């Protein structure tokens, strides 16, 4: 007899989700909020739980198991052997203890980075670092791949990182903005997700914007889903990749030439503009950064740049910038120059004017609710030792290559640690780090690599020990929706039991803590099991809610009801203006910058003497771009995909919606295709001196000639190991692994040149989602 089916409410990065199950099998899933817009990511819970790509048992690389103190074989090419949990944990403990005693705490890299599973308790990296803290410390990470350059430069410029902060409220944008510019932003794609769970409210604002009659402009080398959503109501401008600063400089000089800039605002609210103005007018280098100069670099006609200057200055303008433009060499300059342009317009701190760096992410601008906000496992543990060193995430490969080597970061002289052990939990660095072949070579250097994973990712296939962990649907947790709005409190009830021999990270690290020392499990858990911790976090939310006049029902009732709680609106927050208080009274509300004002020329940054990050926004030509491309070379864009979250869900049936010839698609312009004899649907080889991939050709006029796009996140699938052909189309086989600058050390994935040709050899079989051989 079939078991009775029922629905369970849970949540993921893509929002609250209702899952149909009988307690053992997942049958279907859908969004729990009625948004009138399909979010495909919500439909594949079954694919996550029941995927044939799951890691089913603890596995150890054969050459490592044979001789743990002197491993044999090559990571990524060796078979795996199934072991028991007890054998796996004992082996980890023994090698961890040996490495820590021999090389010290800094040799243990537990800076595990990635998007994690949603929830306030089962954060893999947090739990890993809790365990390592109790063991005596570890090397962690600085920054992230998404906004590495911007989050370092913005505190110098405006006193906060901006990329993860609330925006001027959407009601004010809809009321006051005359012009809305989406500069390197594709919200129709990226608003499906959030760091916590999406509140899914962004689309209603974009629907209203579409009907508003405002002047809408999209600046992007590729015509995005957002442009297609707005259709004829949006103007598309496609500059050469990496030239946004030159384009903005041309607009800025036009403002000066016509006295359209707001000199009173610049005098009162900014510092260093005079030095920057000298640069604009060429008094430093003899080059006037006018529209004609800019047009020759960015490929947008000079007359268009002049028209943009007039349009922006004569209308209330909101510059909504994405993050892709700063994931480039000299990425710090992009958002710094955007803020400078907004300052010259004089509209920062006005309703509907200025700039915003997170309207495209987590529904920024959706007003913050009067909320009871959950606590989490994040934070120090009593008696522990937190990170003893940190490495910028985008320089982990260089750290492995050059232990003890000197480098610069944010004005500091630093030394790379000598990493001997890596534990990566809750992330997929083999898809998000640049130049995968270089990563594979560096990955051979440590003595031990442990991966905690649900799936056989590229990182798992290159590990010594792989531990099978639960998906979020196989455990209990809690979350909030809306990174900025805090709109809902959502129970994340376990849908089905752990699959195969998977365990949750909390259990794994609690057990390992007991291996480490008698009583270690008690220290790690503080005597609380999963449900006790969740009730603790809920009670802390209730206390916070009481301070906001928000009352919560008892935890037991909440958990039994299995329904989300929507937080009440706060009318004052619908009138929130970013930098509004600063504009109203800059003396009473100074910015946390070196001058208390918006910094256009920074004496601090200038004092560092970094040639790749001068003291004011500057056009610096990248190492690889349109301006120095060899014949037939193309610029490579690695944008966010529409039907997955980076690499998450690449294994799911959503792949059928976008793959071409069973591979990741590459978008190319019709003219570029014709010049190479390529038709839509063909398999092409894309290559440079870093690697080569096969991809399926998507031919369109919706991308700038000379630019191709392979969306980031496709799983790598090397034909014959390091240096060989990637059969699946993983873009980071091709991207350049350099820091954005010595200041931010962000990733520079969008600074790459490639060649492309039609592939005419026999097509190899894609095995990206096939578990490795085992014995």
Residue 439, token pair as written in the block: 């990563």
CA-based nearest residue to 530, from 498, 501, 505: 505
In whole angstroms, give the CA distance from residue 425 to residue 130: 12
Catalytic annotation, pick one of 6, 14, 57, 115: 115
The answer to whether 688 is annotated as binding is no
131, 178, 393, 396, 456 from 110: Cα distances, Å: 10, 48, 12, 12, 20
176 in catalytic set = no
Q: Give the span between the Cα atoms of 666 and 635, in whole angstroms.
A: 12
Catalytic option among 14, 57, 113, 538: 113
Q: What is the enclosing helix (H) or strand (E) of 264?
A: helix 263-269
Q: Which contacts (CB < 8 Å, 24+ apart) does range 588-591 have?
A: 591/158, 591/159
Tell me how far apart the alpha carbons of residues 372 and 412 are, in angstroms, rounded to a whole number: 39
Q: Is 362 helix (H, G, I), strand (E, B) or coil?
A: coil
| DSSP-assigned letter for residue 325 | G
Q: Is 523 annotated as a binding residue?
A: no
527: Cα within 13 Å, side-chain hemisphere: 0
Residue 78 is labelled as binding a ligand: no
Q: Is 327 annotated as a binding residue?
A: yes
Q: Tokens at residue 268, please?
A: 């009162």
115 is in an annotated binding site: yes
Q: What are phi and psi of 274, to 5 degrees?
A: -60, -40
- Asked if 17 and 11 count as a contact pair (C-beta separation under 8 A), the reply is yes
CB 154 within 8 A of CB 160: yes
Tally of CB atoms within 10 A around 391: 26
CA-CA distance, 272 to 597, in Å (whole number)? 10
Active site annotation includes 336: no
Nearest to 260 by CA among 271, 249, 250, 252: 252
CA dist 561 to 220, 533, 547, 555, Å?
46, 19, 25, 10
- Owner of token pair 């060429």: 282
Report the catalytic residues: 113, 115
Give the annotated binding-site residues. Answer: 115, 327, 432, 475, 505, 732
């Amino acid at each position: 007899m079939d078991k009775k089916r029922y629905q369970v409410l849970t949540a993921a990065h893509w929002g609250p989700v209702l899952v149909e199950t009988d307690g053992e099998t997942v049958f279907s899933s859908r969004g729990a909020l009625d948004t009138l817009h399909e979010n495909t990511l919500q439909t594949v819970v079954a694919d996550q739980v029941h995927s044939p790509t799951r890691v089913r048992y603890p596995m150890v690389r054969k050459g490592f198991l044979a001789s743990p103190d002197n491993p044999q074989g090559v990571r990524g090419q060796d078979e795996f052997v199934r072991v028991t949990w007890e054998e796996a944990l004992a082996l980890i403990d023994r090698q961890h203890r040996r490495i820590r005693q021999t090389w010290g705490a800094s040799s243990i890299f537990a800076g595990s980075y990635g998007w994690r599973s949603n929830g306030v308790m089962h954060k893999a990296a947090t739990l890993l670092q809790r365990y390592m803290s109790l063991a005596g410390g570890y090397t962690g990470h600085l920054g992230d791949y998404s906004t590495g350059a911007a989050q370092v430069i913005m505190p110098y410029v405006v006193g906060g990182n901006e990329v993860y902060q609330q925006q001027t409220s959407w009601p004010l944008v809809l009321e006051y903005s005359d012009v809305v510019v989406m500069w390197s932003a594709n919200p129709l794609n990226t608003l499906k997700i959030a760091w916590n769970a999406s509140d899914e409210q962004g689309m209603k604002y974009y629907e209203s914007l579409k009907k508003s009659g405002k002047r809408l402009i999209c600046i992007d080398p590729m015509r995005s889903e957002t442009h297609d959503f707005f259709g004829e109501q949006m103007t598309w401008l496609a500059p050469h990749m990496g030239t946004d600063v030159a384009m903005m400089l041309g607009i800025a000089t036009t403002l000066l030439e016509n006295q359209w800039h707001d000199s009173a605002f610049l005098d009162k609210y900014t510092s260093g503009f005079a030095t920057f103005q000298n640069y604009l007018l060429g008094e430093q280098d003899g080059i006037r950064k006018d529209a004609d100069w800019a047009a020759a670099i960015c490929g947008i006609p000079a007359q268009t740049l002049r028209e943009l200057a007039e349009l922006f200055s004569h209308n209330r303008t909101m510059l909504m910038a994405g993050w892709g433009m700063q994931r480039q060499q000299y990425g710090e300059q992009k958002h710094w120059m955007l803020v400078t342009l907004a300052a010259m317009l004089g509209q920062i701190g006005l309703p509907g004017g200025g700039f915003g760096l997170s309207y495209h992410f987590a529904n920024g601008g959706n007003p913050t609710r009067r909320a009871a906000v959950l606590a989490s496992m994040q934070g120090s543990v009593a008696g522990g030792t937190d990170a003893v060193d940190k490495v910028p995430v985008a320089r982990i490969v260089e750290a492995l290559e050059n232990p003890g080597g000197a480098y610069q970061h944010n004005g500091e002289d630093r030394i790379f640690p000598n990493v001997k052990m890596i534990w990566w939990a809750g992330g997929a660095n083999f898809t998000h780090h640049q130049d995968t072949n270089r990563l594979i070579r560096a990955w051979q250097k440590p003595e031990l690599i442990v991966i905690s994973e649900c799936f056989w990712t590229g990182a798992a296939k290159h590990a010594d020990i792989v531990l099978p962990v639960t998906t979020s649907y196989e455990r209990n947790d809690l979350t909030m929706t809306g990174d900025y709005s805090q709109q809902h409190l959502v129970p994340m009830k376990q849908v089905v039991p752990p699959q195969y021999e998977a365990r949750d990270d909390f259990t794994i690290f609690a057990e390992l803590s007991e291996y480490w020392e008698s009583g270690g499990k008690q220290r790690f858990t503080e005597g609380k099991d999963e449900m006790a911790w969740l009730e603790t976090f809920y009670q802390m939310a209730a206390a916070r809610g009481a301070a906001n006049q928000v009352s919560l029902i008892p935890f037991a009732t909440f958990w039994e009801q299995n329904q989300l709680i929507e937080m009440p609106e706060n009318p004052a927050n619908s009138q929130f203006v970013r930098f509004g208080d600063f504009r109203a009274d800059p003396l009473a509300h100074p910015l946390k910058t070196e001058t208390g004002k918006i910094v256009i020329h920074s004496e601090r940054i200038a004092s560092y003497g970094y040639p790749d990050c001068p003291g004011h926004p500057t056009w610096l030509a990248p190492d690889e771009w349109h301006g120095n491309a060899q014949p037939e070379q193309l610029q490579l864009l690695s944008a966010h995909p529409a039907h997955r979250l980076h690499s998450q869900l690449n294994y799911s049936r959503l792949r059928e919606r976008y793959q071409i010839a069973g591979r990741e698609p590459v978008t190319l312009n019709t003219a570029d295709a014709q010049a190479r004899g390529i038709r839509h649907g063909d398999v092409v080889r894309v290559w440079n001196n870093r690697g080569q991939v096969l991809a399926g050709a998507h031919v369109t006029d919706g991308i700038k000639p000379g630019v191709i796009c392979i969306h980031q996140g496709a799983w790598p699938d090397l034909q014959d190991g390091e240096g060989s052909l990637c059969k699946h189309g993983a873009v980071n086989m091709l991207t350049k692994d350099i820091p954005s600058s010595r200041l931010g050390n962000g990733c520079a994935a969008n600074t790459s040149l490639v060649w492309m040709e039609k592939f005419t050899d026999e097509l190899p079989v894609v095995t990206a989602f096939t578990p490795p051989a085992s014995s």
